[in-house]
Structure 1
Amino acid sequence: MLRLTEYTTAAEDAHGVLVLPFDTRQKSRFRATLQDGTEVGVFLERGRILRNGDGLRAEGGEVIRVQAANEAVSTVRCADGTTLARVAYHLGNRHVPLQIGDGFVRYRHDHVLDEMVRGLGLDTTPEQAPFEPEAGAYGGGHSHGHDHDHDHHH
């Protein structure tokens, strides 16, 4: 089994491709299979989400490229930024992982959320697509620390 233990940015020269859904890309330790059938064990530092195109280096130096798998998602498209922002606001209030793109928002398919979006005046498109939600303000993506002072001086 190939042991993948380090992040790298050199994924364009990859020896293999690891296709993973979002839930797995949030984990730091798991077993998986490359597209060519090679078994891998992933052993990474905690606190980082693997993103589409990231590279993982094996103990022997081989680089494997991460690819976001197609998943069941709902996509909301709207040319009006205010309306789309309103939908994103209401989804965010439900702490839904949300992918935000140019003219669209995407979340894991959920019929209750689809009904809410329709109630706000927009249609949803259920589809199979890679899911790359926003990392969030306090981490959850590439390690961009949360290091402001929490002491409040009066």
Structure 2
Amino acid sequence: MLVADTVLGNSYQGNHLHEKITFAKENNTLRRLFLSRTEMEKSRLRTKTEDGLEIGLSLEPGHVLHNGDVIEIDSHLIVVHQLPEKVIRVMIRENEWSPNLLVQLGHIIGNRHRPLSITSDGCIMFPIHDETELELFEKLFSDIIDHLELIVEDEIFVPNKGMNVHEH
């Protein structure tokens, strides 16, 4: 088993890895590693790349992998890909915003210990385990549901900084 202890950088941030990635593609040493968000939060992990290469991750405690991170082990370049997961997207209907509504939303979602992502268009997203949880959240939001639209989607979920909590 090959072990990695550092991340070279991210393939989506800047061009500094472009040459290395191109070289690895040409030499068939580029591999892809698909991980869930919770696996990406682990600093120690034993796993396999898409093509079956067994690897171990031994990163600094607290280090979190990100979609597009690049790891080099021996002559292999490994690009980390985050798997999509089920999320609920909460959209507040136009002209329905109020401090009370936002506090209620935050309280209900926070009581369920869900990490949050607030998107640039004002939607609130949080992960769920399966689609049956939509019904649970519709009941929890029953007092404010008329002001909301809830949609279940499969997305690569990245919590906003400071909004990642331990999930129950």
Q: How large is the RMSD of aligned CA atoms in angstroms?
A: 3.2
Which residue does the alignment assign to 2:77? 63
Q: Distance in 1 between matches of 2:43 and 2:125?
A: 24
Q: 1:113 Cα deviation (Å)?
A: 3.4
Q: Which amino acid is the alignment partner of residue 8 of structure 1?
A: L
1:74 aligns with one of 88, 95, 109: 88
Which residue does the alignment assign to 1:105? 124
Aligned length: 139
Q: Distance in 1 between matches of 2:53 and 2:113?
A: 36
Answer with 15-24 or 85-94: which moved more: 85-94
Q: Distance in 2 between matches of 1:17 and 1:118?
A: 43
Change (3 A) 1:49 1:120: farther
Q: Which amino acid is the alignment partner of residue 53 of structure 1?
A: G
Q: 1:119 Cα deviation (Å)?
A: 3.9
2:117 touches 2:163 (CA, 8 Å); kept in 1? Answer: no
Superimposed CA distance per residue, residues 103-145 of structure 1 (whole angstroms, 9 cap, x where no aligned partner)? 222212244334334542312212222121123179x9xxxxx
Q: 1:30 Cα deviation (Å)?
A: 1.0
Q: 1:36 Cα deviation (Å)?
A: 2.1
- The answer to whether residue 72 in structure 2 is matched with residue 46 in structure 1 is no
Q: Which amino acid is the alignment partner of residue 9 of structure 1?
A: G
Which residue does the alignment assign to 2:15? none
**What TM-score, normalized by structure 1, do the two folds share?**
0.71
Structure 1, unaligned stretches of length 5 or more? 141-154
Superimposed CA distance per residue, residues 58-97 of structure 1 (whole angstroms, 9 cap, x where no aligned partner)? 2x25332211101122122346594698165332465421
- The answer to whether residue 165 in structure 2 is matched with residue 134 in structure 1 is no
Q: 1:25 Cα deviation (Å)?
A: 0.9
Change (3 A) 1:76 1:30: same
Superimposed CA distance per residue, residues 8-36 of structure 1 (whole angstroms, 9 cap, x where no aligned partner)? 21535272221111111111111112122
- The answer to whether residue 52 in structure 2 is matched with residue 26 in structure 1 is no
Which residue does the alignment assign to 1:144? none
Change (3 A) 1:32 1:119: farther
- Equivalent residue runs for 1:82-101 within 5 Å: 82=97, 86=102, 89-90=106-107, 91-92=109-110, 94-101=112-119
Task: Classify the secondary structure of the residue corresponding to 2:154.
Answer: strand
2:10 touches 2:70 (CA, 8 Å); kept in 1? Answer: yes
Mark the structure with the bigger radius of gyration. Answer: 2
2:6 touches 2:59 (CA, 8 Å); kept in 1? Answer: yes
